[in-house]
Amino acid sequence: MVVGDFPIELDTLVVGAGPGGYVAAIRAAQEGQNVTIVDKGNLGGVCLNVGCIPSKALIQAGHRYEHAQGADEMGIKTENVSVDFSKVQEWKGQVVNKLTSGVESLLKGNKVDIVKGEVFFVDKNTVRVMDEKNAQTYTFNNCIIATGSRPIELPTFKYSERVIHSTGALNLDEIPEKMVVIGGGYIGTELGTAYANFGTEVTILEGQDDILLGFEKQMRQLVKKNLKNKGVNIVTNAMAQGVEETDSGVKVSYEAKGETQTVDADYVLVTVGRKPNTDELGLEQAGVEMDDKGLIKIDKQCRSNVDNIYAIGDIVAGPPLAHKASYEGKIAAEAISGHAAEIDYHGIPAVVFSEPELASVGYTEQEAKDAGYDVKAAKFPFAANGRALSLNNTDGFLKLVTRKDDGLVIGAQIAGANASDMIAELGLAIETGMTAEDLALTIHAHPTLGEISMEAAEVALGKPIHTV
C-alpha cells in the first residue's frame, strides 16, 4: 500500500464504528476479509457514547437514588439522602470509557485497521477520507455503510444551551428543578423517568393520543400510572409551538384541547425522532438509491442497489435499535463472504427501560390476527410470582401469543421488572420454532422472574398451576 497521492486499496471498508459498524467489521475479519473501519467520531457510535449505554447508566443511578429514599412497607427507613450529580456523571463516563476502549481492543484484536476521518464517496469503489489536516483516497471491493442517525431538530425549537436533545440531557451539570420533554416515545419516556427519579418536575408533551404507541395499551397504562405517581405531567394531543429562552430557563408554549398553554422549565428536551446520516456522504456519486426519508434501500442481505455497497442500522428501514444494527452488520459481512445469510426481523425484540420495563418480540395478538393467524393469547401476572413479590415489584404481566392449531410461539409481550432480560427467552423460542409445550416443559429455577414464561405457557396449554 502506498500512502499519499495514490489510493490505498482495501478489501472491505466499513463506514461508521457504532454497534452496527464495529460488529460488521469484526465479523467480516472473522470471515477472512481484510477490513478497515472509518469513523469521524468516537468508537462505539451514538449507542456507546451518547445513547444506549450512558442513558441506562443514568436510569440506573436514578433508580438507586429513588430506592435509597427507603421503603416503609419493608421496614426500611432512611434520612437525608442526597445526590452528588457530578459524581453520577463521572461514574457514567467511566462506564462509557470501559466499553469504548473495549471496542478498540476488539477491533485491533481482530486485525481491523482503524481510521479517523470523514468519508465522502467518489464513486462505487472509491471514497475520500478527510480529517482536520489530511485527505486520503481509498478504493475498496466492498463497503458496509453504518453511519447511524442524529436527533431531528424542530424549526421552532433550535438546539441551544436550554433547548437540548438526548445527548445534552445525558450531559447536564445539574439536576433540573423542572424539565419539559417534547415527545413521549422511548427516549423521552426513559430520560423523563430518570430525571423524575432524581426529583425533577417533568412535563411530557406528546402530539399523539398516547405515549409509547409502539406497545399495547395495557402495557402503556402501567407506565403512565407509574409516571403519574412520580408527579410527571403527561399531556397528549399536545402540539408544541415554540420556546422563549432566558438566562435561567425556558417557557414552552403548546396547544392542547384547542387552547394555547405555557409551561416554565429549566430545560426543554426534544425527542421527536431521529434522521439518518446519509445526506453528507456523497452517496449520489456512488449511485446508491435512497427513499424520501434518506434511508438506503436494501435487499435481504443488506445490499443496496449497488452490488458491492451494503447498508445497516439506522440508515435503513426499521426501528433504530442498536441490536438490529449489530444483527444486520453480521448479515452484511457474511453476505460479502458468500454465505446465504438473510435478515429476518421477526425475532428482533423492542425494549423500553421505563417503569415498569416494557419488552416485545414477534407478533402482538392484534398483529398476528391481522396477518391471518388464528391465535391464543395467554397472560400471567407478575403479582402471582414469588420472586416479584419478594422484590416488592409486582406491577405487570407476560403475554404469550401462540398459534391455536399447534401452539407455536409467534410473539410475546412483557411489562414488568427485568422485562429487558426476560424477553430473550421468548425471542429464542420464536427463533427456534418452540411451542408453548416446549416452554412449559423447560424447568425454570425457583423463585425467579423467569418462571413467568413457563407459567404463561401453561396458561396457553389450559393447565395453569398458579392462576385460575
As annotated, the active-site residues are 446
| Sequence-ordered list of residues with C-beta below 8 angstroms from that of 282, at least 6 positions apart, any chain | 120, 121, 122
| Sequence-ordered list of residues with C-beta below 8 angstroms from that of 346, at least 6 positions apart, any chain | 362, 363, 430
Going by the DSSP 8-state scheme, the letter that residue 34 receives in this structure is: -
434: helix, coil or strand?
Answer: coil
CA distance 129 to 60: 39
CA distance 118 to 212: 35
Q: Are 325 and 333 in contact (CB under 8 A)?
A: no
82: helix, coil or strand?
Answer: coil
User: Amino acid identity of 326?
Assistant: S
**What are the cell numbers at 428?**
429464542
N-to-C CA span, the chain: 71
Q: Are 17 and 118 in contact (CB under 8 A)?
A: no
Nearest of 365, 401, 357 to residue 216 by alpha carbon = 365
CA distance 209 to 52: 26
User: Burial code of 437-460, b = ≥16 C-beta within 10 A, e = fewer?
Assistant: bebbeeebeeebbbbbbbbbbbbb
463: helix, coil or strand?
Answer: coil
Maximal C-alpha separation, the chain: 76
CA distance 334 to 338: 7
From the centroid of its chain, how far is CA 381?
Answer: 26
Strands 126-130, 113-116: pairing is unpaired
333: helix, coil or strand?
Answer: helix
CA distance 159 to 382: 42
